[in-house]
A and B are shown apart, each in its own frame.
Chain A
Amino acid sequence: MSRDLPTPPLELETLQAFGPHRSYSDGIRVDSGVVPDKLVKTHCCFCGQQCGMQLKVKDNAVIGVEPWYEFPFNRGMMCPKGVKRYLQQGHPDRLLHAYQKAPDAPGGFRELPYEEAIRKVASEIDRIQREHGPNAFGILSGASLTTEKTYLMGKFAHMCLKTSHIDYNGRLCMVSAGAGNKKAFGVDRAANPWTDILGAEVVLIAGSNVAECSPITTNYVWQAREQGAKVIVIDPRITPIARTCDLYLPVKPGRDTALFNGILHLMIENDWLDHAFIDAHTVGFEKVAQEVKPWTPRRTAEVTGIAEKSIRTAAEWWGKAKTSFLMHARGIEHHSNGVMNVLSTINIVLASGRLGKPNCGYGTITGQANGQGGREHGQKAEQLPGGRDLGNPEHRAEVAALWGMKPEELPQPGVDAYELMRKAHQGELKGMLSICFNPVVSLPDNNFVREALEKLEFFATIDFFLSETSRCADIVLPGSLQEEDEGTVTQVEGRIIKINAAVSPPGEARQDWKIIQDIARALGREKGMTFQSPREIFDELRVLTKGAVIDYSGVTYERIEENFGVFWPCPSEVPEGVPLPGPQGTVRLFEPDAWNPVAKGKGPFYFADGKARFNVTPYKGPTEDVDAEYPHILTTGRVVSQFLSGNQTRRIGPLVDYYPEPKLELHPRLAKSLGIADGDWVTAESRRGTCTVRAAVVETIRPDTVFLPYHWGGRKSANQLTISAQDPISKIPEYKVCAVRVRKAEAPPEYAQKLEPQQ
């Protein structure tokens, strides 16, 4: 029947030594009447909403959380992850030392003095680069790091190691939205503050499980509805935000461009257009109008699997609205046509002219804490700080001058994170250092990824818990938790906010920026890598971004804290006659008379003529469609109690208990045809891997689609099944569609008896 599909090892000894184990409140954390030494105002360590919160600190331990009612974005609200994030601090699984892979040691790793570990990492980087050239060593970074750290990672790769090969886990997250925004607007940031949702007549949510992935946004949506908004949700599943929406469009995964082309077709047919806006502020409308001509409601319905009547209603509501807010997330972005999906949504926003005004908004919902800031300052393969391009000679010269090097010394643009894995697998890339990234869980077709990492001559990670990826490492350096360091992040609205340290790192663990600088020093390449504090890094970044599209030059730590955040662009200087942004920076983008350094006053958008671009969006289906052999669509996503690869949240007991293990959601109609009952063990199998989990038979999903959340590793990992097809522009992987076959399992999986649910 099936070919031999790869099976990840169970790694029982490693699990026993390093977890994930579940932590619960005990001791001082459950005592009544304990008065904390201090309350530290900071933000959540998880998603891009970046809820303000106060950490209760006593004796250098975080003992709980207290709402921060004054922070305007969330006013005290938090999701369960935010409430329980304090349980990651002081966790028994926490890495307190550096480790070296040692097959004979318990759990497979032996403690190593910190300095010795740094020397080993430096000497391996040096050896590999001398023997095979600078590009033989690569860096993996992440968007849960502070902006200071992401800037330092880019500088470390481009200036210190002079390698092209750095990329980050935002490649799995924000790149389709980013590429689409740059193509249409010339700038990549949510256009509006979230307060613009309130007062919108229509709120259109495309491919975003708002209630589970960005829970705080829920109250904005519900409040808009109290004030009369109609809520339209586009999703193959009736997620909690879709349950009570006014119009639900159950799109077949991967067909979003077709839907938005069909909506634009109806807007044009009925003249629901803002001609004045289109004429004055955009280019390319005629070509797009031609492209969507064949997208009749009938054809749109056939391709998207949505009732024609619902498509017409959506177009009418959207078309006739006077104010609106369109938001999307990974649901339309995680596709091999992700950028087209994004551009097709932007086309209906531009055609409506509802942008750059109060209650007229557009925004992508960021996934990670610093999903916005992490994609701005040079840890992306093709990027330099300030949103500059590594391939642009002018940008290279600007950055090289400030870094005190020659432009030609900067490496050329590199490749995306998955391509780095392919290069490792082929043997072209010999070594890597990874921080804030867990590709063995989070990348698609992840058995290939593990194989690739195992082929490296040298692999090091910086981690606070031993992640599935760190289990592949030769050296693991003990890094810092979010609450152990300060810095800034830029949240979903483009608001730069301040993370404050609550406690110091335990044992031999260090702040990540210190570790990176220690490696640079051990390499003898400490030039430009001798910062004494995150504030010093931020001050260099501010100067470096002056005059760039992503301008932080007017932002200081003090200004952030005084104003509950500062929205970029926030230049320190502007030409005569142009007003400086207010204390909060540029809260709303694209206001009619806004100035920017690209258009220089010609218009609000970031192109030389100041106009936004309509982009032609031809529809292309998913890379791997269903067929007789693999007849079901698999789509993947999140649950509210877990976060990304689960390296943190699978160690927090009360969160694990709420949704302990992955379940495969399928519709009763499909379940019946396969002889599957709720709670049965089922096996889902793709051309790449197999995964056996319990079934959840629910009517809240399209009958042609099955859903599996991706937060678990090893044999429970959804990404054993997913396909490594990528968008040609953004290089985002196609997590949201691949073909699988599902059957009732012959027997419970081996792990059922041997592993705890979170392992």
Chain B
Amino acid sequence: MPVPEALEFFVDPARCIGCNACVQACMECDTHKGQSMIQLDYVDRRASTMTLPVICMHCNSPTCAEVCPADAIKMTEDGVVQTARKPRCIACNNCVLACPFGVPKMNTRMGLMMKCDMCYDRTSVGLKPMCASVCPSQALAYGTRAEMAALRPNAKAVNTFQFGNQTLTTKVNMMVPLHTRTDHVDVTAAMHEPTIGQNMLEDVFDDVPVAGDA
């Protein structure tokens, strides 16, 4: 049975209290018991108690799968990106390095990339994933778009992300304040970019004296 189309995942880091319930609950997921696929970090504990839970965003066109040389990362028809297939995964780490959200983890003991599969054992039978079930602040929430709109009138769900020249659309939504002009979370717009790559080369040529000038 596919994951019901109406049910979606919503992440709202502003609500996160860093309690670790999602991480603990993730370890209870039937497909990877004892191991959590969620990364929960303090952004800067010295300055703030702010924490950020990272789950797989389940990209429509997943970078992890695109860079996989062994074609080990599959997506279900209902758009859930799965852990690498054990017989195919060569533990090359390409996916770990390539994912712009930093989600896949290499389980070196098993020689296998593992990641969040949105509790496929639960969501494919209409249940909520473990993390979104337990999350006491509902920073991780699972339900319909209409429910979310009714519960959170001051936020909107965004699922397009810009990483440099790469635009990603995801199955999982990020909640952002309603009254802002951004229609996507543009990482590069907020970046201080050091002079590397193409820019650096241009600088080098600019500084090279043109023959005949001297």
Contacts and interface: CB of A to CB of B under 8 A. Distances in A.
Interface of A: 24-26, 29-33, 64-65, 67, 69, 74, 76-80, 82-84, 211-212, 215-216, 218-219, 222-223, 226-227, 238-244, 640-641, 654-655, 658, 668, 678, 696-700
Contact of A215 (B17, B34, B50, B133): B17
B24 A80 contact: yes
B31 interface: yes
B153 A240 contact: no
Contact of B151 (A32, A78, A226, A243): A226
A29 B35 CA distance: 12
A228 B51 CA distance: 24
Place the interface of chain B in its size category.
35 or more
Given A219-B138, A240-B51, A79 B21 contact: yes
Nearest to B15: A222
Interface string B32-46: 011000000000011
Given A32-B33, A218-B17, A699 B46 contact: yes
Interface string B75-100: 00000000000000000000000000
Contact of B134 (A77, A241, A244, A658): A77
Interface centre among B21, B27, B31 (most CB of A within 10 A): B21
Nearest to A241: B17
A82 B133 CA distance: 12
Contacts of B23: 80, 658
B28 A83 contact: yes
B151 A698 contact: no
A212 B33 contact: no
B136 A215 contact: yes
A240 B49 contact: yes
Nearest to A53: B134
Given A641-B20, A654-B24, 19 more contacts: A25-B33, A32-B30, A33-B30, A67-B133, A74-B136, A76-B133, A79-B134, A80-B20, A84-B24, A211-B18, A211-B19, A211-B137, A226-B152, A226-B154, A226-B155, A654-B27, A658-B20, A678-B46, A696-B45
Contacts of B24: 80, 83-84, 654-655
Interface in B143-197: 151-155
30 contacts: A26-B34, A30-B33, A33-B30, A67-B128, A69-B133, A77-B133, A79-B136, A80-B21, A80-B23, A80-B24, A82-B21, A82-B134, A83-B24, A83-B28, A211-B136, A211-B137, A212-B19, A215-B19, A215-B137, A218-B136, A219-B136, A219-B138, A226-B155, A240-B16, A240-B51, A243-B48, A640-B18, A658-B23, A698-B45, A700-B48
A240 B18 CA distance: 8
A198 to B, nearest CB: 10
Contacts of B137: 211, 215, 218-219, 222
Given A77-B135, A83-B21, A219-B138, A32 B31 contact: yes
B185 to A, nearest CB: 18
Contacts of A223: 138, 151
Nearest to B16: A240
A659 B53 CA distance: 17
Nearest to B131: A83
Contacts of A74: 136
B25 interface: yes
Contacts of B48: 238, 243, 699-700
A244 B45 CA distance: 15
A455 B39 CA distance: 50
Nearest to A67: B133
B1 interface: no
Contacts of A658: 20, 23
List 6 tightest A-B contacts by C-beta distance, closest first: A211-B17, A215-B136, A240-B17, A30-B33, A80-B24, A83-B24
B125 interface: no
Contacts of B155: 226
B47 interface: yes
